[in-house]
Structure 1
């Protein structure tokens, strides 16, 4: 089996220590978490972890099975990139003089469909939302001019197929 990108979605109760136990599952298997996002989900009082790994399907399945053994976890799924719609966001802090002195910077902003978030005397901040490779391409284009600061968010994703989590919760609440 070959390695590919997997997005793992974990629906859980919002309890202290769960993130530590979930990350321990990856640590034991020497699998790096490439991206992590935790937020509230579409279901009241249920959190959603979105975890990205580069691994085999066999390992993704095993990890999901281990995660589901955690008491607070309601359900976990794994999906390939083709099965999800996903985005990441990034912020780039660049020296202000470049905005006016380097015409290519303006071209990069336009071609990448990024936005200027703020401009001050010393720096300006660009925001870019898109796929990982789009953010990487923008980073590579800006790097020769000097990036003062850079930060990227974790992946946010929804599956293309229906997620039966709402039905599972309804059954759980009716028991």
Structure 2
């Protein structure tokens, strides 16, 4: 049964990535409802948001194929219902082993992007856990979180 899905992926700057993603979609004859690319200045990443109507198994295969692209750091799949109950967290924290252990214990993820002075983490979390998570994250003294 076809339903609406939203695919969110994070990547580094690469001009050919849009072509690669669109090529994967057109080869599978999947129609795109919307396609947007946003630059996140604070973490130097690009966020792609793609909405489409397709079967769940086809979209899961599509997400798996997109994650194989080298330039893609992380790819998330959300249904219409999940869009109202879950948020994608993108967190920039100063680089240290202690802070990395704390962040991993909080959001159960590994860094998607590491620089000399900071790490960027991403995770899909439930909306109800955001207030609890916000108090814990402020104790970590993050550089930027959104």
Task: Decide: shared fold, TM above 0.5.
Answer: yes
Task: Count how many residue pairs are aligned between Structure 1 and Structure 2.
Answer: 100
Structure 1: which 5+ residue stretches go unaligned? 86-159
Residue 98 (structure 2) pairs with residue 173 (structure 1):
no
Larger radius of gyration: 1
How far does residue 162 in structure 1 lie from its aligned partner after superposition? 4.5
Q: TM-score, normalised by structure 1?
A: 0.51
Which deviations, in whole Å up to 9, do the C-alpha atoms of 1:107-164 show, x marking residues without a partner? xxxxxxxxxxxxxxxxxxxxxxxxxxxxxxxxxxxxxxxxxxxxxxxxxxxxx42536
Q: How does 1:1-175 map to 2 (within 5 A)?
A: 2-41=1-40, 44-85=43-84, 160-163=85-88, 166=91, 168=109, 170=111, 172-173=113-114
Structure 1 runs (4+) deviating above 3 angstroms are 162-169
The aligned residue for residue 118 of structure 1 is none
* Alpha-carbon distance between aligned partners in 2 of 1:62 and 1:43, rounded to the nearest angstrom: 31
Q: TM-score, normalised by structure 2?
A: 0.60
Structure 2: which 5+ residue stretches go unaligned? 92-103, 120-146
SS in 2 for 1:21: helix
SS in 2 for 1:163: strand
SS in 2 for 1:170: coil
What is the CA RMSD across the aligned residues, in angstroms?
2.4
